[in-house]
Each structure stands twice: as C-alpha cells, then as structure tokens.
Structure 1
Amino acid sequence: MFRGFDSEGFSLIENEALCNGNKGTCSLKQLLEHISSNPMELLSKNQSCEFSRFCEKKYQDLIHPTMESSIFSNLDRNEAVLNSWRSLSVFYESFVCMASSIWTLHKLAFSFEPVVEIYQVERGLDFSMVYMEDVTKRYNFPGKTKVKVGFTVVPGFKIGRTVIQSQIEVPVLVAVLILKKVSTV
C-alpha cells in the first residue's frame, strides 16, 4: 500500500506536475477535501479522481484475481459485475477505508515543509532501537545478541530530523532459539 508514497502523485501520474504553485498548500487542500467526505461517496461521485485511481491501482496490485474469485466465487470476471459488487461489497468498502487512511496520510505528509519521508525496514536487518520498535515486546534480548527483523508491520517516517520508528516483528523462532541458547549457558 505504501509503494510510491514518496512521490507527490503516489506514482499514479508519471512526469506530470500535480499542483501549480506551492505543493504543500495543494496537498493540504486535497487533504481537507478528502477528509470532509465519505471515501465510498468520493468513488461513486468521481470515478476518475486521483483517489479513485489510487484505489483501483492498489486493489489491482494487492488483490490477486485468484483471491478475488475465491472470495466472490459466484461472480464471473465480467467488468460490469465486478463494478457492481465493488459498490456494495463489505470487503471492498473495507479496502477503500484502508486506502483512504493511507491516502490521507500521504496528503498530510506532502503538506509539510520539508516533506515527510517514509522508510521501511527490510527483513533480516539487525534490530535498531533508534529506527525500530518491536511490536511483539514479548522478549528481553540479553547481552550482545543480534536480533533480526522478521518483517515490517508499519513503515517509519522522518519529519525533518525527527524519526518516528518503524514497527517491526522479530521472528518468534529466532527469539525462541536465542532464549534456549541463553538458558543453556
């Protein structure tokens, strides 16, 4: 969902200026317009708006047709049928609400000067308390044990020189092995 977050148009429009003048003011205006409306109503009113294109692109990128067909096995792949179920489906409405939250965060990030930067911690990197928060918080890692990142749960952000930690998952298997090794010493 966050792929393209660092580009002004969320990588929807290539090499095209989205705003004339101050980018921060334009993003803030778009943010205010977006939060004053229901996301599903926005899609039904203007199917060619940026938010609608964002939802469609992310849906196509994330929801594999096999998964979609297993969820909606009684629907065929006819575009008219899919468009009608998307307007009514609780699944799609939940997806749009999630997309709306990320879209809102993106517009908020681009309303700051300097623009808020996003970062994601890759699997296998050493845990760092400066940039990461372990969401499991189940284990106390003693000594010089190198804890590795299992996966990113929530990306991190940098606002100027301020770091908002990325939330990561430390693999349980690694944690259990470390605890066993410590207990045998």
Structure 2
Amino acid sequence: MDLMESVVKSSAVTPHKSKLARTLSKVLHVKSMTGIDGLKNVKVDVNFNNEGNMRNKEKEEEEELKKKMVIEALVSKVFASISTIKASYAQLQYAQSPYDPDGIQEADKFVVSELKDLSELKQCWFRKQFDFDPSPEGAIVTSELKELKSVTKTYRIMGKKFESQARFKDSEIMFLKEKLEEANKQNKEMFDSFNFPNFNLRNESIPPDRNKTQFFFERFNELKSVKAKEFLAFKPKSPFAKFCRVKYLRLVHPKMEASFFGHMKQRTNMVNGGEFPDDNKLFTSFGEMAKRVWLLHCLAFSFEPQVEIFQIGKGCRLSDVYMESVVNVNTNDDDDVAAALAVESEPQVCFTVVPVPSLPLTVITATKVDNVLNGKELFRPVAAVTV
C-alpha cells in the first residue's frame, strides 16, 4: 500500500516539475539567442514617465501664467477705477468755483459708478471668480486705455484751473499796480518841492547873514536825535512843524481821518495852527516819516555844491571799478550763474534798485542789478559811484 502511494505521488509531481524545467530552458535559450536584457525595458518605462511629468509641468505653468494674467487684469481695473475717481474729484473741485451744478452731478455719478465697480472687483477677489470678457489680455488693454483717458481728463481740468488762477492773478496784478501808482503819487507828494530850501514853505527863508550850508546843518543836528512827537510839542511853530501840517493835510484825506477816529478835531486843530496830538498813533507814525524826509532835505542842503541823485541807466556797462556783484564767482552756490558771469566779458546793467546821492569826491554804494547773457540771468552787484 505504501509503495503504491509513493508511486502515485511521484507520478503526480514529476509532470509539474518537468513542465517548469522546460519553460525555464526555453527562456534561457531565447535570452542566449537574442541577447535581450530586461533592464532595457525598465529604461523605456522611465523615459515614458519623464514625458508624462513634463506634460504635467507645462500644464501647471500654463495655469500659473493664466492666474498671473487674471491678477494683472484685476489690478489694472482697480487702477483704472482709481484714476477715474481722481479725475471726477478734480472735476468736482473745479465745479465748486464758479458753481456748476451740472458738472457736480456728472462728477458725482462717475464717483458712484466707479465705487460700485471697485466693490464688485473686491467680491470677485474674495470668491476667486474672475470673468474677463473676452480675455485677461483684452481686459488689461481696456483698463490701460480707461486709465489714460482719466489721466488726460485730470490734466485738462487742472489746466482749466490754472487758467482761472492765472486770470485771478492778472486781476491782482492790476489792482496792485493801481495801488503802486497811488503810493508813488503819495511819495511824490511827500517829496514835492524837495529841491527848494525849506520845501518852499511860506514865510520861511534863510537869513541873509547866515551861511546856507551851516544853517541847514544846524537844523539837521537839532532834529536828528529827538523824537518827532517831542520836537513838535516843544516847537509847534518851527519850520518842521509847518512842514508836517502841510504834508498831513495833503496826504491824509478827511474821510479817512473820520473813519479812523470818528471825528475831524485833529484836522481842525492843524488847520488853525494848534497843537499836535501826542496820543495819536497815526500822527506819531506820520511824524516819524516826515522827520526822515526833513532830515534828508536838511542834509542835502548842507553840502556845497548841492547833492544830486545818481542813477545808472539800463544797458550801461557794469564797471568792476565802481560796482561789485553780489554773486561771487569763487563761491559754489550757483555754478551756472558763476560760469555765466565769468564768460560774459561786458555784463550790462538791467535796472537800478536804489538810486544814490552823488557827492563831490565821495564814494557812495548803491544796489544795482546787471543783466548777463542777453537778459537770461540777473545779478545784484553793489555800485560804487564817484564824481
């Protein structure tokens, strides 16, 4: 019985082993005949995987680029809306003065519309839902055009505003010119008859036995160290007091005096030759101004020959002997101006700032402005004049 079982088992196992042996021998035989290496098949699989990875990477890059374009389009829309709001605000300011209700309403509509667009863009950003028609690139171009139009509108409005300001400045210039002309008339009135002794006052003449220069020099010394108010209170009948009365009545209008004080008692006292007010700030200031004019008058008549006004005319050559430029060529404050002054061989005087007295054998300094390089640069030298 055991022998039979062993025979059956061996007969059952032997066919399976022989089949496996035959299969292995065939494989080894084919390998030896063709030389095929199994590793090459593995390499082919690796290359195939690399190509798949590259395709995936390209897709990711395309998606990333698309996201960037979407964000750029969103930012462009935001800036375009801000530029439109800025232009509308400029229009709103310009429409305030002079008042333009239509312009204000139009600017208000633009602001409200752009604020709504900004709110929608904000919601799109939070929801990550972007719908740009026809494409993000087209949206970017459209936003840039909108921004340029808004900037152009802003500049146009600012140009109108500057034109309005220029017209206002022109009116101010005309007003200031009128005031300057009036001030010049008053100054001329103050210096009227300056070239005559004692300003050609009535009943005021130089004693025949007195030297004219010495006489006026004594008057100069008498008044120079005293306040005008104190001198007038001490000598109300002096030539200087008469001078103050005459000039005050000419320069100060009765209506102006009445508006300041509510009455004209002060004017009545001056007309009647009475005392000068000592507690009036207006007359105190006027007296100090009159004192300076009177001292200059006395000093001018203290010289022999008489003092004359020296004024350098426009276009005269700037002399290094008698004039010194405020702009120092050796300084580095303004290299362009210094170079221009150095290059210009014969700079010319442009206009006189302060005319100066011309005295015999005396050097006086005066402030001048000379013109260099065809009037493009202005300098302010000091002019020294001698006769």
Shared fold by TM > 0.5? yes
- CA shift at 1:112, angstroms? 1.2
Provide the secondary structure at the position in 2 that maps to 1:96: helix
Post-superposition CA distance 1:117-167 (Å, at most 9, x none): 24789xxx857679xxxxxxxxx9xx9999678xx8x65422237685887
- CA shift at 1:37, angstroms? 2.6
Count matched residues: 163
- CA shift at 1:65, angstroms? 2.4
Task: Say if 2:221 is the partner of 1:38.
Answer: no
Using the alignment, how far apart are the partners of 1:11 and 1:127 within structure 2? 36
Task: Say if 2:208 is the partner of 1:26.
Answer: no
Residues 111 and 66 of structure 1, relative CA distance in 2, 3 Å threshold: same
Q: Which residue of 1 aligns with 2:359?
A: 159
Q: Which residue of 1 aligns with 2:263?
A: 76
Provide the secondary structure at the position in 1 that maps to 2:243: helix
Using the alignment, how far apart are the partners of 2:268 and 2:224 within structure 1? 29
Using the alignment, how far apart are the partners of 1:13 and 1:84 within structure 2? 19
Letter in 1 for 2:245: E
Task: Say if 2:301 is the partner of 1:110.
Answer: yes
- CA shift at 1:100, angstroms? 0.8
Determine which of 245, 253, 256 is the counterpart of 1:56: 245
Q: Which residue of 2 aligns with 1:100?
A: 291
Q: Which residue of 2 aligns with 1:66?
A: 255
Letter in 2 for 1:159: L
Residues 155 and 48 of structure 1, relative CA distance in 2, 3 Å threshold: farther
Residues 77 and 27 of structure 1, relative CA distance in 2, 3 Å threshold: same
Provide the secondary structure at the position in 1 that maps to 2:199: coil
Provide the secondary structure at the position in 2 that maps to 1:157: strand
Could you tell me whether the CA contact under 8 Å between 1:157 and 1:166 is conserved in 2?
no
How large is the Cα RMSD of the aligned pairs? 4.3
Please say which structure displays the higher CA radius of gyration.
2
Provide the secondary structure at the position in 2 that maps to 1:9: helix
Residues 147 and 36 of structure 1, relative CA distance in 2, 3 Å threshold: closer
Residues 28 and 63 of structure 1, relative CA distance in 2, 3 Å threshold: same
- CA shift at 1:54, angstroms? 0.8
Could you tell me whether the CA contact under 8 Å between 1:117 and 1:158 is conserved in 2?
yes
- TM-score, normalised to structure 1's length? 0.62
Q: Which residue of 2 aligns with 1:8?
A: 197
Provide the secondary structure at the position in 2 that maps to 1:112: coil
Post-superposition CA distance 1:67-122 (Å, at most 9, x none): 3333x1x421234578788321112111111111111111111111112124789x
Using the alignment, how far apart are the partners of 1:41 and 1:76 within structure 2? 24
- CA shift at 1:66, angstroms? 3.0
- CA shift at 1:52, angstroms? 0.5
Letter in 2 for 1:92: F
Using the alignment, how far apart are the partners of 2:227 and 2:254 within structure 1? 27
Provide the secondary structure at the position in 1 that maps to 2:277: helix
Q: Which has the higher contact order (CA 8 A, sep 6+)?
A: 1
Query: Which structure 1 residue ranges, 4+ long, deviate > 6 Å from structure 2?
Result: 81-85, 143-146, 165-169
- CA shift at 1:25, angstroms? 0.7
Structure 2 gaps of 5+ residues are 1-189, 320-336, 338-343, 370-374, 377-387
